[in-house]
């Protein structure tokens, strides 16, 4: 069952010189239920812009994205209800505690006070946040902040998770914990799209990947399919081979 269908997405940012800057060009991919789809690419490849568009935060210049059966441009609120979006930066309200934040976002998602408290407490337990749940966020470490952010993204128990660089800047222990958590979410049937530029990390976790370079998807498929296509095993090698191939055949830059 297709949960996410992205077709020919293009985003051109207006620039003061009037020429426009193309960030995403003709991006298309599909993600089925219970699947982890990795959107991989170097910095500036267009991963964040793609994720912002499919989360309803940004409008595309052209193309479409359907999540849980809703077109994100016609029904952005319905789409937002069915996704949990983890942004790339770990910004939190400095004067609130993780517990305050989880309850706030639960209520913003329409839960009543009792349900908001129940759900927050469950996530505090799952994400092992008990020790710092009542500290002000200004005093938390990066790992603790990221766990709070993941809790916030999951607060409404959405069927789709969109995660932008979920392990960016984390230490080994926090990294492991977050990745385990993502796998656990997949095991309960969640559809997950994540972006990362850590290719090794994606290799061990994603069911399918889309390699994004200069705003275009240069390859899309399971790891085995990509290995066959590139004739090499490791994802980083596959990525470099495909970029080299595209450049040698004059693949236009975005």
Nearer to other proteins, 100 or 207 (CB): 100
The secondary element (H helix, E strand) that includes residue 47 is helix 47-54
Tallying the residues shown for the chain, one arrives at 254
Nearest CA to 230 among 210, 214, 244, 248? Answer: 244
Rounded to the nearest whole angstrom, what is the least distance from the CB of residue 58 to other proteins in the complex? Answer: 5
Nearer to other proteins, 64 or 232 (CB): 64
Nearer to other proteins, 83 or 182 (CB): 83
Token readout for 235 is 């994802």
Q: What is the Cα Rg of the chain in Å?
A: 19
Token readout for 246 is 């595209």
Q: Residue 205, CB half-sphere, CA atoms under 13 Å: how many?
A: 28
User: Which residue in the block uniquely carries the two structure tokens 């964040």?
Assistant: 48
Distance from C-alpha of 64 to C-alpha of 50, rounded to nearest angstrom: 11
Nearer to other proteins, 18 or 231 (CB): 18
Rounded to the nearest whole angstrom, what is the least distance from the CB of residue 139 to other proteins in the complex? Answer: 13
Rounded to the nearest whole angstrom, what is the least distance from the CB of residue 234 to other proteins in the complex? Answer: 33
Rounded to the nearest whole angstrom, what is the least distance from the CB of residue 55 to other proteins in the complex? Answer: 6
Rounded to the nearest whole angstrom, what is the least distance from the CB of residue 69 to other proteins in the complex? Answer: 16
Nearer to other proteins, 158 or 243 (CB): 158
H helices, E strands: number in the chain = 9, 10
* Strand bridging mode 160-164 / 191-196: parallel
Contact residues: other proteins, CB under 8 A? 13-16, 18, 21, 52, 55-62, 71, 73-74, 77-78, 80-81, 83, 85, 87, 89-96, 100, 104-105, 107-110, 149, 152-153
């Amino acid at each position: 069952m297709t949960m996410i269908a992205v077709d020919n997405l293009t985003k051109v940012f207006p620039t003061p010189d009037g020429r426009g800057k193309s960030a995403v060009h003709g991006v298309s991919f599909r993600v089925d239920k219970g699947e982890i789809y990795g959107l991989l690419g170097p910095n500036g490849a267009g991963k964040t812009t793609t994720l912002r568009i499919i989360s309803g935060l940004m409008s595309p210049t052209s193309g479409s994205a359907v999540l849980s059966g809703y077109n994100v441009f016609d029904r952005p609120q319905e789409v937002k209800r069915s996704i949990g979006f983890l942004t790339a930066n770990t910004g939190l309200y400095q004067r609130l505690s993780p517990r305050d934040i989880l309850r706030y976002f639960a209520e913003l998602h329409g839960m009543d006070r009792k349900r908001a408290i129940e759900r927050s407490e469950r996530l505090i337990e799952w994400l092992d946040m008990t020790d710092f749940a009542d500290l002000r966020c200004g005093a938390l470490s990066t790992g603790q902040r990221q766990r709070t952010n993941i809790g916030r993204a999951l607060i409404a128990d959405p069927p789709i998770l969109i995660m932008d660089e979920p392990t960016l800047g984390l230490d080994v222990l926090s990294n492991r914990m977050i990745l385990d958590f993502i796998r656990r979410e997949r095991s309960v049937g969640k559809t997950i799209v994540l972006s990362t530029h850590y290719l090794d990390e994606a290799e061990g976790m994603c069911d399918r990947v889309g390699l994004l370079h200069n705003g275009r998807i240069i390859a899309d498929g399971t790891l085995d399919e990509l290995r066959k296509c590139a004739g090499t095993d490791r994802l980083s090698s596959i990525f470099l081979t495909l970029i080299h191939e595209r450049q040698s055949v004059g693949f236009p830059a975005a």
